[in-house]
Amino acid sequence: MRMILLIAAREYAENIKTKGFWVGILLFPLLMLGIIFFQATLADSAPARRYILVDQSGVYEQSVESAIRQEHQRRILQEFVRYLIQYRRESTGAQLTESSARVDNFIDQVEADEVSALDQWLANGGLDYALQLAAPTLRENAPPFMPPREQFVQTQLPPGIDPSADPAQIVEQMRPWLTGQQDLPEGGKLFALIVVPHDVDNDIIRPGPLSPAPTPPELIGRGVQYWGANLTDTRLSSAIDRSINSTMRSNEFADRGIDRQVVRDIERTRLQVSRLDPARAAGDESVSLADTLQQWAPVGFVYLMFISLMQSVQYLLSNTIEEKSNRIIEVLLASVTPLELMMGKLAGIGMSGITTILAWILSFIAFINFYPGAQTEFLQQALVVMMSSELVPWFVFYYLAGYALYSGIFLAIGSLCNTLKEAQGLMMPMMMILMAPLVTMTFIARDPNGEVARIMSWIPMFTPFTMMNRAAAQPPMVDVIGTAIVLLLSIVLVLWLCGKIFRQGVLRTGQPPRLVEILQMLRHRH
């Protein structure tokens, strides 16, 4: 036992000195910073999309412009709510308490019904009114609110192009701008051209008997024409679609003598649906955001387990191959037995994996505490739910069990190979097995006690991930106890078999053994 502890301490010390270990530790907090900061930076730095709208019908241009302005106001509203959450201060005093209550009501309205809140935002004067409302509640060191830039800017047709010409002729003349070969007169590239033909209402699709679907050639030029080479950014085309169809329906209502505002008010009328948990005590049945987070928290634990295990077994594999190629293994085996060397390596690399997880958790806690704001508020709630729930003991058990199961296999693979290139062929089946729980992760979270989840729970290679994913759903006790026993027996069997391979393969040279030779190693009694 003393030799195993010495080897484990040596492996741990050697591993934490490597650059890869520190890169792995820093990767997680850097990834969090990147997700939050780069998303905001890229969103703010994105250039405005310039578009040209040719409305020959004279009916839809104003609705399109109104829809794009409204979408911009919606983004301002969202960013202003985040700004309030980040820079508001605690209420003190009667006046500040009243202001805080109004701000709280404003935030609640946005979260409950953004469409209605946007209408009220515009009716009250938009950003100017909101700034006056929020001014008494902001901290003294709060920076001024910077509204987001406009995403889409309308521009005019280049000189020499007749907007009343045939749509096909307009498009043909605009091709140099649409393909990016020519810049607009005011500078910049053209993002999209929208052409509304004068007879566009003839293409309105009305409910009625089914008719044969038009073939692709017949679809070209029908309805509103949206010309744009960027197929990934659909924000403008979606706004065009919504605004034009909304205006068309409003006109239909007017033609039939129906007040559109009455219909709009009816469409905005809603009835609250209370989500209740039948397993709760009377009076405590309501399902909160924390309850929802707790149901999905196992997915985060599974992902963390997968990343950490992959990192640990990779360290174990590369460390073993490196020591074998450098003949360090032979020196170590002069003082310890192969079993002591194997168990020491497993323990040492395992401790470094636990160190990595603890470092990730501490960096996560430090990040959400030192960078409070709207972006991290949800993360803070998720962390509180995860740390205060009973999921932590589950994670500790299944992480250690999963590491013991997979590390023995990867250690055996490392003992059979002299280079990482040789190990890739043997690693491929294991990587495919490891990917299966990751692929089914969200499916099992939605049906944690379904047939697929229960079957995968009894397959030892999947048990740590699947049972961790089911932890918040109170799986049947027969699954909890039965799969744990099967998993522990499988770990003993795998470590015993891998120990036999490690003992014979660690001093082996030459090409990696074939499958028949590996089976012979497993049958070898000494």
Average pLDDT rounded to a whole number, residues 391-403: 89
* Whether residues 432 and 473 fall in one domain: yes
Is the pLDDT reported for residue 96 higher than 70? no
Percent of the residues in the chain that have a pLDDT greater than 70, as a whole number: 79
Average pLDDT rounded to a whole number, residues 29-46: 62
Structure confidence at residue 486 (pLDDT): 94
Average pLDDT rounded to a whole number, residues 50-76: 87
Residue 464's pLDDT band (cuts 50, 70, 90): very high
Residue 194's pLDDT band (cuts 50, 70, 90): very high
Phi, psi of 52 (to 5 degrees): -120, 130
Answer yes or no: is 272 within a domain.
no
Answer yes or no: is 65 within a domain.
yes
* Whether residues 231 and 339 fall in one domain: no
Cα dihedral across residues 159, 160, 162, 168: positive or negative: negative
Q: What does the alpha-carbon distance between residue 459 and residue 443 come to, in Å, rounded to a whole number?
A: 17
Structure confidence at residue 424 (pLDDT): 75
Domain extent at residue 121: 52-204+219-266
Average pLDDT rounded to a whole number, residues 76-92: 77
| HEC letters along 107-164 | HHHHHHCHHHHHHHHHHCCCHHHHHHHHHHHECCCCCCCCCCCCCEEECCCCCCCCCC
Lowest average pLDDT, out of 325-329, 445-449, 484-488, 493-497, goes to 325-329
Helix (H, G, I), strand (E, B) or coil at 399: helix
Residue 513's pLDDT band (cuts 50, 70, 90): low
Is the pLDDT reported for residue 393 higher than 90? no
* Whether residues 296 and 425 fall in one domain: yes
Q: What does the alpha-carbon distance between residue 471 and residue 461 come to, in Å, rounded to a whole number?
A: 17
The residue with greater pLDDT, 70 or 109, is 70
Residue 414's nearest CA partner among 321, 337, 340 is 321
Question: How many domains is the chain partitioned into structurally?
Answer: 2
* pTM given for the model: 0.64
Answer yes or no: is 110 within a domain.
yes
Answer yes or no: is 276 within a domain.
no
DSSP 48-106: PEEEEEEESSSSSHHHHHHHHHHHHHHHHHHHHHHHHHHHB----SHHHHHHHHHHHHH
Q: Quick one: tokens of 338? A: 């192969």
Q: What is the torsion angle, in degrees rounded to the nearest 10, for the CA atoms of residue 49, residue 52, residue 57 and residue 60?
A: 20
Structure confidence at residue 271 (pLDDT): 74
* Whether residues 262 and 381 fall in one domain: no
Average pLDDT rounded to a whole number, residues 107-128: 76
Average pLDDT rounded to a whole number, residues 171-177: 92
The residue with greater pLDDT, 233 or 526, is 233
| Cβ within 8 Å of residue 292, ≥6 positions away | none
- Cβ(521)–Cβ(501) below 8 Å: yes
* Whether residues 364 and 448 fall in one domain: yes
* Whether residues 245 and 322 fall in one domain: no
* Whether residues 452 and 341 fall in one domain: yes
pLDDT tens, 180-193?
899 988 888 899 99
163-199 core/surface letters (b: 16 or more CB in 10 A; e: else): eeeebeebbeebeebbeeeeeeeeeebbbbbbbbbee
pLDDT tens, 148-163?
888 888 999 998 899 9
Structure confidence at residue 177 (pLDDT): 92
Residue 465's pLDDT band (cuts 50, 70, 90): very high
Structure confidence at residue 235 (pLDDT): 83
| Cβ within 8 Å of residue 479, ≥6 positions away | 454, 457, 458, 467, 470
* Whether residues 90 and 182 fall in one domain: yes
- Quick one: DSSP state of residue 269? -
Answer yes or no: is 274 within a domain.
no
Q: What does the alpha-carbon distance between residue 374 and residue 366 come to, in Å, rounded to a whole number?
A: 16
Residue 354's nearest CA partner among 9, 18, 12 is 12
* Whether residues 384 and 333 fall in one domain: yes
* Whether residues 113 and 26 fall in one domain: no
Q: What is the torsion angle, in degrees rounded to the nearest 10, for the CA atoms of residue 35, residue 366, residue 350 and residue 321?
A: 50
Residue 209's pLDDT band (cuts 50, 70, 90): low
| Cβ within 8 Å of residue 104, ≥6 positions away | none
Query: Considering 251, 266, 281, which residue would you say is the last residue of a domain?
Result: 266
Structure confidence at residue 36 (pLDDT): 62
Structure confidence at residue 266 (pLDDT): 79
Residue 279's pLDDT band (cuts 50, 70, 90): low
Lowest average pLDDT, out of 68-72, 244-248, 518-522, goes to 518-522
Q: What does the alpha-carbon distance between residue 503 and residue 391 come to, in Å, rounded to a whole number?
A: 38
Residue 129 burial (10 A CB sphere; 0-12, 13-18, 19+): middle
Structure confidence at residue 111 (pLDDT): 67
Q: For residue 317, give the amino acid letter.
A: L
CB half-sphere exposure, 502, CA atoms < 13 A: 29
Residue 427 burial (10 A CB sphere; 0-12, 13-18, 19+): buried
| Cβ within 8 Å of residue 274, ≥6 positions away | 286
- Cβ(494)–Cβ(346) below 8 Å: no
* Whether residues 378 and 335 fall in one domain: yes
Is the pLDDT reported for residue 210 higher than 70? no
Answer yes or no: is 275 within a domain.
no
Q: What does the alpha-carbon distance between residue 125 and residue 424 come to, in Å, rounded to a whole number?
A: 64
| Cβ within 8 Å of residue 105, ≥6 positions away | none
Lowest average pLDDT, out of 285-289, 481-485, 502-506, goes to 285-289
Answer yes or no: is 211 within a domain.
no
Write down the residue that tokens 């195993």 correspond to: 4
Q: What does the alpha-carbon distance between residue 520 and residue 231 come to, in Å, rounded to a whole number?
A: 57
Average pLDDT rounded to a whole number, residues 339-365: 83
Measure CA of the first residue to CA of the last residue in the chain; give whole Å: 21
* Whether residues 57 and 136 fall in one domain: yes
Is the pLDDT reported for residue 169 higher than 50? yes
Structure confidence at residue 511 (pLDDT): 66
Answer yes or no: is 271 within a domain.
no
Is the pLDDT reported for residue 522 higher than 70? no
Average pLDDT rounded to a whole number, residues 216-239: 76
